[in-house]
Amino acid sequence: MSTSAPPPPSAVSGPAAGSTSTAPDRLTAKAILGYGAGDFANNLAFATAGAFLLIYYTDVAGISAAAAGTLLLVVRVFDAFADILAGRIVDRTYSKRLGKFRPFLLFGSVPLLGLSVATFAVPQIGHTGMLVYAYLTYAALGLAYSLVNIPYGSLAGAMTQVPSERAKLASARSVGGSIVSAGLGIVIAPRLVPGADLQTVFTVATLCFMVVGTACYLFTFFTCRERVQREVTNVSLRQSFTTLKGNRPLLMLCVSSVLFITGGLSLNTLQLYYVRDVLHALNLYPVLSTIQLVATFVLAPAIPLLVRRFGKRTAYMGGSVVTALGGLIVALSPTGAVVALPFTGLVLGMLGFLLVNMLVWALEADTVEYGEWRTGVRTEGITYALFSFTRKTGQAIGGAVGAYALALGGYAAGAAQQTEAALWGIRVGTGIVPAACALAAALIMFAYPLTDARHAEIVAEIAERRTRR
């Protein structure tokens, strides 16, 4: 259901492939499904690295937890800057035949997924050699991911300007990503036990992901069209930073998101360690993944309803509070407590994280119109890149915090029983860090100025400007 009128046709420097004269009120089911397939493919590389790369480095490659933590921090900060570069490339790229964003999906999918295979194939060439290889392959994977994910994320803002339709796209990408995350937890995680041939597990998995992911990217390419009219195709560096300067909603969303993602990645990085080493119940990891998958399918169709009833900002804050509550339960559940109590905390943290992640992409797309309203220049690429930069920064900090918590606690790779200090380090990274970060993120969004009603006014004003030209 549309909540604002689409803009009327305007003069453009060139139509995107498959474009129409106006942005349609409703997206087709095929387009929504295709957009979700894109994030399914993204997460075959991204979620696999986020969930398992640390345990691969420590338990398979034999890299120390401290060295692995530094690696994750350095490379993910590099990835964040790679997003800015990718955003500039996207804003300066345009194909009359294929559009502005879709070519990156077509030509970037195989290199991205191939690098995922290489990242999980560290050769035994000595500690220094392994570190160099790990740095190079993970950095290359991050750059390739930026060159695919930035245009993929920007594509949503070019498909529709209607808030409820954007909420559907945000839900679809969350469903796609959650299916992968659940699959990893159900199929891969139970095999990560001491003594197993983990290298073979990761090699077979990433090769299969390469085939499936390429097919999903192609499906996205052929079903998702760029329909929102734009005034500028090739955006100068000055225009890019002019649109960012003064975009207060974008900056606030970035700060809130970097905090939330820092906590989320710390939780995601250590969740497997928590279930295996603290709860001694690795069999619960597939259960948690199944709950995540079911919750995603329940939440996804409810997101447009939540947006209409409460607005994106309020729902975002609610999800953050739920995440914080879950983190506190995880951290403070006493040793020897019934497993159901800390497991409930993990479920709550996961549900809050899901809700916020479903909403955040629609919020980011809204900031594109805010920037266009202020400056007259539409810059999806650099706007999404800045937002992604902050999220990658949060991922870098969160992943490193999780690894350093292991190192400070004295985690012993492959040990059947960890020390109390190691278990407390896992608790801090899985519970305290996510709770504190989620509460801080909610406080920032309390002052977020771009409500759904204000966004509708801005879109209408942009449309009126175009009619006067």
pLDDT at residue 95 above 80? no
Whose tokens are 């809050």? That residue is 352
- Is pLDDT of 92 > 80? no
- pLDDT exceeds 90 at position 150: no
Q: What are the tens digits of pLDDT across the range 232-266?
A: 455 555 656 666 677 888 889 989 999 999 998 88
The pLDDT of 150-154, averaged and rounded, is 85
Q: Which domains are assigned to the chain?
A: 29-224+243-467 (1.20.1250.20)
- Average pLDDT, integer, range 367-383: 77
- Half-sphere exposure in the Cβ direction for 144 (13 Å, CA): 23
Q: Is the pLDDT of residue 3 over 70?
A: no
4 pLDDT more than 50: no
Query: pTM score, two decimals?
Result: 0.66
> Per-residue pLDDT tens for 49-78?
888 898 899 889 988 888 988 898 899 888
Average model confidence (pLDDT) across the chain: 82
pLDDT tops 80 at residue 173? yes
Confidence of residue 440 (pLDDT cuts 50, 70, 90): very high
Given a cut of 70, whether residue 227 has pLDDT beyond it is: yes
What pLDDT sits at residue 10?
Answer: 30
> Model confidence over 336-365: pLDDT tens digits?
667 889 999 999 998 999 899 888 877 887
Rank 183-192, 227-236, 436-445 by mean pLDDT and report only the highest.
Answer: 436-445
